[in-house]
Amino acid sequence: MWHKGTDDMRKGTILFVHGSSVSATPVFDLQIPGKPEASTMDWFARLGYDTWCVDCEGYGRSDKWRPVNADVSCGADDVAAAAEYIAKNANSPKVLLYGSSSGALRAGLFAQRHPERVQRVALDALVWTGEGSPTLEQRRKRLPQYRASNRRPIDRDFVRSIFTRDHPGTSDLTVVEAFADAVLALDTSVPTGTYIDMSANLPVLDPERITVPTLILRGQWDGIASFQDLSNFFAKLPNPDKQFIVMPGIAHTSTRSKNWRLVYHLLDSYFSQPAPVYTG
């Protein structure tokens, strides 16, 4: 786990959850001189949040000794362990939760299992059934390869492809290179479990069992989930305190996009939204 905070932590505690191919700190605490926005954790700490992230098993600085492929359910267990630690050591019984891509699946499954421990959840680059996803259509062709091993290799070209596969130009490539440096310093391979889940085992979430306030974010050009797939998911969420927002000019990786300021605004707005006075 990794923690960033200031003396001003009036807005609550955010737990950030990473996706399939990278560990937590390159995504949420990237340090680039002259670009304070590169660290999402630092940015939100300055806004008044206590910020945390966690490396799921098999990623970054986490344990990698078990012979498992670290699927979505395993990641949700890791999020539960992190939330429990925060509750005990930071006096935050409920967390504001953000997850992107398979991190959204991990975060969503944790919220589904433990709604009493979640204040609000933001699910970015989520996929529900996978219907209409060109990225997952291509990924399914490599399912035998993923199923044959608990880990898959990653390199600089692969990391770059995360930012170019859907719609080139949405991200600053100088930031991408610094991001790739940080990713590859920690991992040259990552678990296959979430790739298998997203290619063969969807849906892994039941929206009717996610009862906490929920924000769904989708990049305009995201190739993982279609607009209709997420619209169907959104319609089934039972809590009326919910929002579904399409982010213009963004593909799959929103916080590393040129439009990062829009993403930060949407997150801060939802996480700091006052509770309703009347609910009927």
pTM above 0.95?
A: yes
Distances (CA, A) of 208 to 26, 53, 76, 176: 33, 27, 18, 37
Quote the pLDDT of residue 156: 97
- Coil, helix or strand for 4? strand
Average pLDDT over residues 74-102: 96
Number of neighbours of residue 23 by Cβ within 10 angstroms: 25
Say if residue 9's pLDDT is above 90. no
Return the pLDDT at 91.
Answer: 83
Q: Which pLDDT band holds residue 92 (cuts at 50, 70, 90)?
A: confident
**Residue-wise pLDDT tens digits, 221-277:** 999 989 999 999 999 999 999 999 999 999 999 999 999 999 999 999 999 999 899
Asked if pLDDT for residue 131 goes beyond 90, the answer is yes
The domain spans of the chain are 2-271
d(Cα 198, Cα 184) in Å, to the nearest integer?
Answer: 23
Phi and psi at residue 53, to the nearest 5°: -140, 165
Residue 140 has pLDDT above 90, yes or no: yes
pLDDT band per the 50, 70, 90 thresholds, residue 205:
very high
∠ at Cα 73 (183, 15), nearest 5°?
A: 55
Res. 211 pLDDT band, cuts 50 70 90? very high
**DSSP 8-state code for residue 257:** S
pLDDT tops 90 at residue 219: yes
- Does domain 2-271 sit in CATH 3.20.20.140? no
Q: What is the pLDDT of residues 27-48, one digit of tens each?
A: 999 999 999 999 999 999 999 9
